Amino acid sequence: MNFSEALKSGKFLITAELSPPKGVEVEPIIQAASVFKSKVDAVNVTDNQRARLHLSSLAFCRLLHEQGFEPILQMTCRDRNALALQSDILGAYALGLRNILALSGDYPKGGSVRPVYDLDSVQLISTIKKMENEGIDLFGEKLAGKMNFFVGGAINPGAEPVEQQILKTEKKIEAGVDFFQTQVIYGIELFKRFFTKLNNRKAKVIAGIFPLKSYNMAVFLNEKVPGVFVPEEILKRMKESRTPETEGIKISIEIINELKPVCSGIHIMTLNNDVDIIAEILNKI
């Protein structure tokens, strides 16, 4: 089963995330990721995350595809105008890629990069669906050949005000999104609160997991990353642990077990492609 078939079947899915290198040395990352290749349903490839230069997500997805991974191409609106986005959508399909996660993209800090944002994430989802369902581009011109993408969107259940996030999520559902992946989750009550308020309860949602490696990391996420809430109990455990990385993995597994009854799967993210942590979590669940 491919990723879309597995999600539609009701299977509890596991996805992981990789960042392309800042350069062209791709083999070390691909080789390292082989430790979890058989254990995940798909692998997200980030698109110039944090608005910093990396190898093209499109190119890295194709390289992973050639090695037997099923990639999810992250595509941000930050760096491309409407023409370039559509061109990359066509290119992705021609290269055999079938999954796209449509994102607005982190806003650049500093003056070295100028953001584009010709489209937002809702409009990008709508554009992909228009191209595949109607066979025309944003300018109304006919496209040659048929496409069939599985399109994802992002949700931040902890964002405030929650009503604004609910509205954007419902717009993505109306635009035709096939699945969601969430921001990092540490408090399952926030997750439940969000989906209690959401009108469309049938949305396929894959919950974001980010294993903590230190108390300082936990504090940083809690204080600096919008929509991420680390409960006091977890902060205390990380502060008091003599082996914080091991404790972070243990906490992640506990969160995964709590989330299983209320979502369609989990998405494991790490800092700097820490594939060993991903593999350890997958071995233990």
Q: Which residues of 70-101 are buried (b: 16+ CB within 10 A; e: fewer)?
A: bbbbbbbbbbbebeebbebbeebbeeebbbbb
- pTM for the complete prediction? 0.96
Give pLDDT, residue 187.
86
pLDDT per position as a tens digit, 171-228? 999 999 999 999 999 988 888 888 888 876 678 999 999 999 999 999 999 999 988 9
Residue 179 has which token pair?
């699945």
Give the chain's end-to-end CA distance (angstroms, integer).
Answer: 21
Model confidence at 116, pLDDT cuts 50, 70, 90, reads: very high
Q: Exposed/middle/buried for 1, CB within 10 Å: 0-12, 13-18, 19+?
A: exposed
pLDDT per position as a tens digit, 53-73? 999 999 999 999 999 999 999
Domains and CATH numbers, the chain: 3-284 (3.20.20.220)
Name residues whose C-beta falls within 8 Å of residue 213's C-beta, 6 or more positions apart in sequence: 244, 245, 248, 271, 277
Half-sphere exposure of 14 (CA within 13 A, CB side): 15
Residue 6 has which token pair?
């597995």
What is the average pLDDT score of the chain?
95
- Secondary structure element (H or E) that encloses residue 171, with its range: helix 162-175
